[in-house]
Amino acid sequence: MKDRKALVMGGLFMMIIVGLVYSDGARDFIESGDRKAKLYDYEKALLDYKEAVKLDPQNAEANWKVGWAHNRLALNSTGETRNYHFGEASNALSRAINIDKSIAYAHVELARSLVYSGLLKDNWDSYTLAKRVKEELDYALKLDPKLADAYFLLGLWHRQVSRRPYLWRRPLGLGEANKDDELKNLKRAVELEPNRIEFLLELGKSYIDRNDNSNARVVLKNIETIQPRDPYERILRDEGLKLLSRISQ
């Protein structure tokens, strides 16, 4: 009996040791991925985050960072490659949220993948998609009310949803979308992170849409001094400077 108990205890001890080894290994890969992400090497960062998930599938941080990296690769891609990365991002971020709902960034990144893969399309018609995006962003801001990306995406949400006829969206629970909140949320994003090209570009567009070219020029002029971090931001910077040139004539 004593031998059996000792055997069971020894087995439990070994399981704990193996679990700690895998956990430490996952942490090493996460930290390695973070270093590569800071250098905007999204492909190599993704490989490290995936290795972390292999070692520790229930690691919420590793899973949401897999989604983050897929989102960045999607934004820097086109066509089917872009769709693939957004799909993989949604899967990884949903897993992360199922493991731990308290990670605000996971909710923001899931909203990002849904916004860019569906809501920003001119012909979007899925009210369930729109509601899911809003739910994720509202939850993220409850967890962290200073998340600039959440305000930015919420601004885009108000822009896109408010373009649909009110009589179509009100019965579906989307009647709150409006242009004023579009502007307010984009302004808040810029206040929190004033050197983000995408924030400045979309805020500039909102001012132009309101025929307020004076404020649009002030906002877009800030883009001139910001160095893009990746090809996607270079495209956004070029778009912003073209808009600035157009409304300055």
CATH of the domain at 87: 1.25.40.10
Residue 21 or residue 186, greater confidence: 186
Give the rounded distance of the alpha carbon of 133 from its chain centre: 11
DSSP-assigned states of every residue in 164-177: S-HHHHGGGT-TT-
User: Is position 73 within any domain?
Assistant: yes
CA 81 to chain CA centroid, Å, is 18
Alpha helix segments (H runs only) across the chain: 2-38, 42-55, 60-75, 79-99, 104-114, 127-143, 148-162, 166-169, 179-192, 197-209, 213-221, 231-248
Averaged pLDDT for residues 241-248: 96
Q: Let me know how long the chain is.
A: 249
User: What is the span of the domain harbouring residue 18?
Assistant: 1-100
User: Which tokens is 138 given?
Assistant: 């509202």
Nearby residues of 242 by Cβ (< 8 Å), 6 or more positions away: none
Evaluate whether residue 160 is within a structural domain.
no
Q: Is residue 229 part of a domain?
A: no
Confidence band for 10, pLDDT divided at 50, 70 and 90: low
Evaluate whether residue 213 is within a structural domain.
no
pLDDT value of position 113: 98
Q: Express each pLDDT in 46-104 by its tens digit.
A: 999 999 999 999 999 999 999 999 999 999 999 999 999 999 999 999 999 999 999 99
Does residue 125 belong to any structural domain of this protein?
A: no
Question: What is the pLDDT at residue 204?
Answer: 98
Indicate the average pLDDT of the chain: 92
* pLDDT tens figures, 146-193: 999 999 999 999 999 999 999 999 999 999 999 999 999 999 999 999
> Band of the pLDDT at 44, cuts 50, 70, 90?
very high
**DSSP run (H or E) holding 116:** none
| Nearest residue to 187 via CA among 227, 219, 233, 235 | 219
Asked, for residue 155, whether it belongs to a domain, the answer is: no
Q: What is the 8-class DSSP label of residue 41?
A: -
Spatial separation of the C-alpha atoms in residues 56 and 181, rounded to whole Å: 41
Residue 125 has a pLDDT of 87
User: Is the Cβ–Cβ distance between 136 and 108 less than 8 Å?
Assistant: yes
Give a yes or no: residue 165 inside a domain. Answer: no
Q: What b/e readout covers 159-181, taking b as 16+ CB neighbours within 10 angstroms?
A: bbbbebeeeebeeeebeebeeeb
Q: Considering only CA atoms, which of 71, 70, 66 is closest in space to residue 97?
A: 66
Write the pLDDT tens digit of every residue in 100-118: 999 999 999 999 999 999 9
Instruction: Give how many domains the chain has, as a whole number.
Output: 1
Cβ burial of 106 (10 Å; 0-12, 13-18, 19+) is: buried
33 occurs within a structural domain: yes
Nearest residue to 136 (alpha-carbon basis) of 162, 171, 104, 183: 104
